[in-house]
Amino acid sequence: MKFVFDLDGTICFNGKPLSNTIVQCLKQLNKNDVIFASARPIRDMLPVLPKDFHSYTLIGGNGALIYQDNKLLHAQTFTEQQLHVILKLIEEQEATFLMDSDWDYVYTGPKDHPIVHNLDQGKLAQHVAVDQLSSVVKILFITMKDYEILFTQLQHLDITVHEHRNEQLIDVSPRNIDKWSALQVLGIKPKSYVAFGNDANDISMFQHAAQAIMIDDHDQLSRFADEHVSYQEDGEKAIVEKIQSIYSETVYI
């Protein structure tokens, strides 16, 4: 049985690296059976993971990027036509955004936005202009004139759209890209893994998991969760205990 972990709000918190408690727990699992799946691009996943986890299987950009053994295995990008339409919406909405390639990025949002704290913490990439990105795998809309109008316009495009209403953020990926699509690229079968997540972008991998564990509470995700663990109430101890409990019950090959 494999274990698939979202990062932010699931096993790492407030933009900080995984705690030693979580790290020691995960080291009890077989490396080949652990997958980290995040909305972050790969470059922003690395700083919150210990160096010996960098060679694990990493799914970034909500499924658009897959790294294994420190190498890019797969990248799904927007087409030129899709980018043309999205850039027009950005202009109409006077939107600010974070635009990611498989490594470098463009950021036009407020300098004091919380997203900045998690942006290229390891100073691994280049902050470039839009026309300098060789490809685009994910766009996060940060500010805009009208959230509802932009969200509706994006939904009409042939792309994958995730909304984060609490933060008033919208992120978009290429068509049919989500965490489950990336797991399929890796050859992962339905009901062959345990998923840990906390947000709407974890729905696809929850739907196909043998067990789906939600950290804290999220209205959209909760209907797909088998169990609920409260970090707010019980902290990391409860998360570690749940991982260890599932591990001990699983025939682990």
Query: What domains sit in the chain, N to C, each tagged with a CATH number?
Result: 2-75+178-252 (3.40.50.1000), 80-174 (3.30.1240.10)
List all residues 6 or more positions away from 53 whose beta carbon is below 8 Å from its beta carbon.
18, 23, 26, 36
On whether the CB atoms of residues 42 and 33 are closer than 8 A, the answer is: no
pLDDT at residue 252, rounded to an integer: 44
Running DSSP on this structure, what letter comes out for residue 119? T
State the Cα–Cα distance between residues 57 and 36, nearest whole angstrom. Answer: 7
Nearest to 10 by CA among 144, 205, 169: 205
pLDDT at residue 250, rounded to an integer: 72
pLDDT at residue 234, rounded to an integer: 77
pLDDT at residue 76, rounded to an integer: 94
pLDDT at residue 253, rounded to an integer: 42
pLDDT at residue 18, rounded to an integer: 97
What Cα–Cα distance (Å) separates residue 23 from each residue in 12, 53, 92, 98, 211? Answer: 10, 9, 45, 29, 21
Going from the first residue of the chain to its last (253 residues), give the mean pLDDT of each consecutive group of 10, the final group possibly shorter: 96 93 96 96 96 97 95 95 96 97 96 92 95 94 97 94 88 92 97 96 96 92 94 88 90 45
User: For the whole model, what pTM was predicted?
Assistant: 0.89
